[in-house]
Structure formats: C-alpha cells, structure tokens
Chains A and B, each alone.
Chain A
Amino acid sequence: MAKFSLCLLLLFAVLVGHGIVELEATHHIYSRLQTPQNETKTPWDYRFQPYRTGYHFQPPWHWINDPNGPMIYKGIYHLFYQYNPKGAVWGNIVWAHSTSRDLINWFPHPPTIFPSQKSDVNGCWSGSATILPGEKPVILYTGIDPDKKQVQNIAYPKDLSDPYLKEWVKSDKNPLMAPDNVNNINASSFRDPTTAWQGPDNIWRVAIGSKINDLGFAILYKSKDFLNWVKAKRPLHATRHTGMWECVDFYPVATNSQCGLDTSTLGPNVKHVLKISLDDTKHDYYTIGSYNYTTDKYTPDKGLIDGDAGLKYDYGKFYASKTFFDSAKNRRILWGWINESQSVADDIKKGWAGVQAIPRNIYLDGSGKQLVQWPVSELEQLRSSPPVNVFDKRLEAGELHEVTGVTAAQADVEITFEITDISKAEEYRPRWTHAQWLCNTKNASVRGGLGPFGLRVLASSDSQEYTSVFFRVFKKADNKPVVLMCSDQSRSSLNEDNDKTTYGAFVDVDPIKEKLSLRSLIDHSIVESFGGSGRACITARVYPITAIEDKARLYAFNNATEGVTISTLSAWSMKKAQIS
C-alpha cells in the first residue's frame, strides 16, 4: 500500500513538473518556456530576423494564433487575436487588439480582453463580434472558468464614442452559456462562438463547436435579448468521425454576385457556408448548403463533405480562420492564422511565432460549387510602380527565367500561362484523387509533358534553396484537362529542422478556355499563392538560410519536356506596411 502511494506521488510530481493539463484542450502548456518576469527581452535582442514579414500582420514579438472578433465599426477595421504577452509559445492567452483604415496598415492598442472574472480566470480563448442593431458591437468569446471548463462570455465596448473601442467591459451575468448537469455539454469541447445571426422571428442564434467522442457538431443557442440564451434541441449540423469542431463559422453568400452579405441575410439568392476547423487535422474545411431558419438546420449540398475529403479554404498552412461582413465595401473578408513551420526551439530563439494571412475577399464561384478568394485590393497600394513586366514569352523545356528588378523576398507576382493544346500532357489516372500526395510524388523535379511550370520563389542563385509554386496539367481519358497546383517546399531550406511538407490542390479551371493564372505573395518566410484567380489557395511557411533579403531571387521556370508560353508576368516590389 505504501509503495503504491509512493508511485502515485511520483507520477503526480512528474505530471505537475511537466505542467501537463488534465483536460482535453488543443494547446500543450509550455510552462517552462515562458519568458520569466524579471527578464525583459526586447525584439532587438534577437537581431538576426530574416523571417519577419514586411506586409503580413504580426505583432513585434511573441506568440499569436486565432484571429478573433474581426469587424468594422465607424469606418475602422478591428482585428483582435490570441496573443501571449510573455513568450513565443502558446500560453497566458489574451485578446490583443489592432485597428486599421485599410486592412493593410495597423495600429496597436493594449490588449482588450484578458482574465478578469471567474468565468475567464483561466484564459480568454477565441470568439466573434456581432454588430447589434444601432451599430452596437458585442463580443462573445470562450472563457476558461476556475474548474477549467469552457464557457461562453459576453463583452461590450465601454465607450461607443471611442472609434478605436480601446476598452471593453464584461457582463456580471457571465458565463451566458456553460456546460452543466442538465445540458450534458462536454466541458472540454465547447468553444469558439460564431458571429450571431438574427432570424425573421427576431431571435438571435449562435453556433458553438463541440464533439461527442469523434462526432463533431455545432451546438445552437438562441436568444431574444442577447443575454439569456437557450440551447436548441438540435445542433445546427453534425458529422460523424470528424472530431472536435473548432472556430465554427456560419454565413450567407450571394448566388448572383461577388458581394458579401450581412450575417443575418436570408432570401432566394442566398446560400450558406458552414466552415469547421478540425482539431484532428489542423485544417479548415467548408461546405456550401441550405439553411432552414424554421428548423434551424443546415444541410450541405449533395456531394459536399465535412472533413478531410472535403473542400478547404487553403490547402497549405492555414487554420482557425474567421470571416466578417465589411459593411463599408459590401464584402465578406476572411482572416486566417498561419502558424510557423519551424521547430519550437527556433520559435523561441527568434522570439515570435505566427502571422496572419493577408485578408481575403471571399465569395461564391459562378458555378456555385466552391468559394473563391482573392487578397483585398487595398494590398495593391504597397506595390512599387512600375512593375517588372514580361509579355508573350516562350519558356522552353527546362528553362529558368530570372525576374530581376524586384525585391524578391518581399514581392507580389502574377503570372499567366497560355495553353492551346493538351495533347502532350501526362495521362491522368482516376485514382489520383489526393492532390497533396500527387504533388509529393510528382514534385518540381519530376518532368511531365505539360508541367511542372510556375514560379521559383525565395530562391538562392546557386539553386540550393528554393520554393516552387507550379502547375501540372494532365489529360483524362476523355481528353478533358485536370490542373494540379503545388507548393513544393522540399528544397526551401538547407535547415533540416523545418517542416518542409509539400502542399497541393486541384484547380477547377479549363486552361484552354481561360489563361492559367498564378499569383504569389512573397514575404520573407511566407508564400501565399492563388491559382486560377483564387479558386485554389495554398499558403506555406519557408525559412531559407541563404535565400534571404537581398540574396533571394525570383524565377519563372518550366521543367516540362515541352515549352510553355508565359502570356503575362508582372512582378512588384512590395513596400513595407505598418504591420501592427
């Protein structure tokens, strides 16, 4: 009996010593890796910073993750985000806050939401903003209570006349929604409330992701006054074998325009999008479907799947994304968190981790079968004129064409290819349904008839380090084309500690009917690529050792066995933005 007690004590000590959290949360607690209080390191101690971005949002240092509560108020855009004020790993999480007039240049404010009540004493996790009638923003967010349970709280601006909304207060009614003995909600799987929407009955609805075993679902809560919430009997949607649904997002899209819609919009030319961030795979998936507001049930269109076989916003590193309705310009804007692909040790060495993607305009494709994304047009103000232009250039088989005259580590490049016949393209096999696998098997060094061709970015002049973003065109048995887009990071860095996974996506375009286009936003350690005018998006993080700053090069390449024609290539050096 004594021996047994001793073993238990030792086990307990080991567990406590490692700071391991008992409950099933998504974050590992690195209690040993936080910057000690008395050691105030500044970013300027970490002098070698070749990977910090020039125009992608990131704070001066420390860890960031999910974008929170994005919104527009009195003409000013707000971005909140999960932030650790004490270290380059997840922990001590608060809502940091920045504002902008153009979604590109940002001004920081002190953190607005941090532990201050019983209902968030152990953490202020993600949530969303809802603009109530009368232009009154409120935030619903997940707090971690004294028993480490996940609960939902409300916060609202202290002073609505402050356009920067610097201070927020919390209701003493918090938590407004919590797991209890009656509702049987899983207390460690109940988080990330969506922006709420109001039905024709004037009742507000909000969705919160949860799971039971490996069945993920979105719990629905309803309210008349936004303070008293009642759980609906049925969830908004559920899918077997998907695991926990984080950062659920639910919003309407217009079927007959590219304009965004207010979150409460319903009507004949409206469909809905349900997006889920799957904890098990760390990817964001969406379906397009129909929302029945009388039964409060969402049904995805036939053929669309929630989960790993389904559509993704971005086929690379992109997670915990969230949209908001930009009422000033009638757009729906998508934010996404781009985590590091370096080791935790490297993150600590450099003193920071995480960037946000460039905000993207998101809308339903004309076909109705997928969403299309494109960087907000405000980004173009950073383009240095004039661009470097190339028109109607034939790239012979195996040719590498350098694009000079741009700051290759901080650039915006658009290239289109003209393809008139696909007879020389490789044969496509019907079982090749996994784009990422196909890009790994047929990477940039594997030559085909019509591909690989595309861009080589953050490249060293000796070809020791480079990231390839390219297309590979196949032809099916019926002679119809299949276009594959790859972001190949396998040779991106001589540092073997980085995650150099290659990403891939099929692009639903006919390259003969329309020119095959690729746009890449290059920013030191991030490459955000858009294929087919935004029908396939792939974001990657790369950390070259030599191909940095003025040593980085930009090329157009064609490693196919046949030549290909560049119809247009435009490359701009990008000015630095005020990134936070």
Chain B
Amino acid sequence: MGSSIFLFTLFIAFHLLIFRQQPSIFAAADMNLIQKTCKNTKYYDLCVSSLKSNPRSSSVDTKGLANIMVGVGFANATATSSYLSSQLLSTKTNDTTLKKVLKECADKYTYAGDSLQASGQDLATEDYDYAYLHISAAADYPNACHNAFRRSPGLAYPAELARREDGLKQICDVVLGIIDHIISSS
C-alpha cells in the first residue's frame, strides 16, 4: 500500500513537473516578443508586467499585444470611474462643489474607457492613425478631470486621483509606443 501511494505521488509529481516545463518553453519565446515590443515604449517595466500577467500574451502577435494593453487601459479607466462614483456616494450631501467635480471626473474616465474601446476596433481593422487618435484622446481625459479640480478653488486634487491619472496616461503611452513600433516595422 505504501509503495503504491509513493509511486502514485511520484507519478503525479512527475507529470506536474512535465506540465510546468512545457509552458515555460513557449513562454520563453513569447517573452522575447514582449521584451522586444516593450523596448519601444516609454514604460518598459509597466509594459512587460502588464503583458506578462495576461495569459493571452503568449499566443498573440504585436498587434495582439497592443490589444491586450488597450484592455489593461480600459480596465484601469473603468476602475477609476467606479472609484469616483463610490467617492461621490460617500460624499456629504451639502458639499455640492465636490459632488459636481467628482461627477464630471467619473464621466471623463468613462469617456476615456469609451475611447479605448473605440481604439480596439481601429486596431482590429489596422486603422492605426485612428487608433492612435482615440488613445491620445483617452490619455487626455484625465487632464479634463484635473482641470475641473483646478477650476474649483478650495478643492484639493486628491493624491489617489493623481496616482490614477498618471497610471492611465502611462498605459496609454505604452500603447502608442507599440503602435509606432508596429507601423515602423511594417
């Protein structure tokens, strides 16, 4: 009985080892594509870590990597929009200025998400200039939110929002870099 369990465990362990090895071989080849692609962007580490964490990245081409990054941006913009909406709900009802600004910002980050979605469609049809335009627009929407705070004296721009603004802009910058790379190597 003991030896069967031992053999069984050995069998399982052996298979686990095998199945861990094989994906790594493919991953090594795709890491090359990810690294090569990300080298052309402004934020290499962000680019690599974002792409690596998506399982699809091991089986797509450079255009696919751009698409994945667009998805990362969309998730990011949508998350910020939700965050702002929840902030809006928890704000005291008599603070009308802050409520107005938070609403405007939530809208802007939703529009950023819409732009990123539109860019995904343009990437699919290889309309790179339009894709670039939409991503540039997405990267610009956080400025509109920041300006809304600037226009309201007495309202401080929250550090958390500044962090999210930078985050989305950097993701967009990475996508733009990938698109430039796709076009220049075609």
* A residues apposed to B, CB below 8 Å: 181, 184, 212-213, 215, 217, 234-235, 237-240
Residue of B nearest to A233 (CB): B118
Task: For chain B, residues 76 to 104, give those with C-beta under 8 angstroms from any C-beta of chain A.
Answer: 104
A215 and B132 contact, Cβ closer than 8 Å, known pairs A181-B104, A184-B111, A240-B180: yes
Report the bound CA distance from A235 to B131 in whole Å.
12
Cβ–Cβ < 8 Å partners of B137 in chain A: 184, 212
Output the residue of A217, A234, A237, A240 with the most chain B CB within 10 A: A240
Separation in Å of the B98 CB from the closest CB of chain A? Answer: 17
Which chain B residues lie closer than 8 Å to A212 at the CB level? 133, 136-137, 140
Q: In the complex, what distance in Å separates the CA atom of A239 from the CA atom of B136? A: 12
Cα(A213)–Cα(B42), bound, Å: 16
Contacting pair A213 B104 (CB below 8 A): no
How close is B143's CB to chain A, nearest CB, in angstroms?
Answer: 9
B45 at the binding interface (Cβ < 8 Å) = no
Query: What is the interface residue range for chain B against chain A?
Result: 10 to 19
Q: Of all chain B residues, which has the CB nearest A242?
A: B129
Which of B129, B140, B179 is the one whose CB lies under 8 Å from A184? B140
* Contacting residues, chain A, for B149 (C-beta < 8 A): none
Is B11 close to A, CB under 8 A?
Answer: no
Q: B111 contacts A238, CB within 8 Å?
A: no
> Chain A contacts of B111 at CB under 8 A?
184
Residue in B closest to A240 when the chains form the complex, CB atoms: B132
A residues within 8 A CB of B179? 240
Tell whether, in the assembled complex, residue A238 and residue B133 are in contact, meaning their CB atoms are under 8 Å apart.
yes
A237–B141 Cα distance when bound, in Å, is 21
Shortest distance in angstroms between A417's beta carbon and chain B's nearest beta carbon? Answer: 41
Report B-chain residues with C-beta under 8 Å of the C-beta of A234: 130
Which label, helix, strand, loop or mixed, suits the secondary structure of the B interface? helix
B12 at interface by CB-CB < 8 Å: no
Would you call B144 an interface residue if the criterion is a C-beta within 8 Å of the partner chain's C-beta atoms?
Answer: yes
> What chain A residues lie within 8 Å of B128 (beta carbons)?
240
- Whether B144 lies near A238 (C-beta < 8 A) is no
Chain A residues contacting B180 (CB-CB under 8 Å) are: 240
A residues less than 8 Å from B129 (CB atoms): 215, 217, 237-240
Q: B3 CB to closest chain A CB, in angstroms?
A: 68
**Is the beta-carbon distance between B140 and A238 smaller than 8 angstroms?**
no
Of chain A, the residue at the smallest CB distance from B128 is A240
Q: Check if B133 sits within 8 Å of A235, measured CB to CB.
A: yes
A–B complex contacts, Cβ < 8 Å, 22 sampled: A181-B104, A184-B137, A184-B140, A184-B141, A212-B133, A212-B136, A212-B137, A212-B140, A213-B139, A213-B140, A215-B129, A215-B132, A215-B133, A234-B130, A235-B130, A235-B133, A237-B129, A238-B129, A240-B132, A240-B179, A240-B180, A240-B183
Contact present for A215 and B136 (CB under 8 Å) = yes
* Residues 13-67 of B contacting A (Cβ, < 8 Å): none
Q: Could you say which residues of chain A place their CB within 8 Å of the CB of B183?
A: 240
Complex Cα gap A30–B140 (Å): 32
Decide if A217 touches B133 in the complex (CB within 8 Å).
yes
B170-186 vs A, CB cutoff 8 Å, 1 = contact: the mask equals: 00000000011001000
In the assembled complex, the Cα of A239 lies from the Cα of B183 at a distance in Å of: 12
CB neighbours (8 Å) of B139 from chain A are 213
CA distance A212 to B141 in the complex (A): 11
In the complex, what residue of chain B is closest to A212 when comparing beta carbons?
B136
Chain A residues with CB below 8 A from B132, complex form: 215, 238, 240
| 18 further A-B pairs in the complex, CB-CB below 8 A; given A239-B129, A240-B129 | A181-B144, A184-B111, A184-B137, A184-B141, A184-B144, A212-B133, A212-B136, A212-B137, A213-B136, A213-B139, A213-B140, A215-B136, A234-B130, A235-B130, A237-B129, A238-B133, A240-B179, A240-B180
A181 to B100, CA, bound (A): 13
Closest Cβ of chain B to A215, distance in Å, is: 5
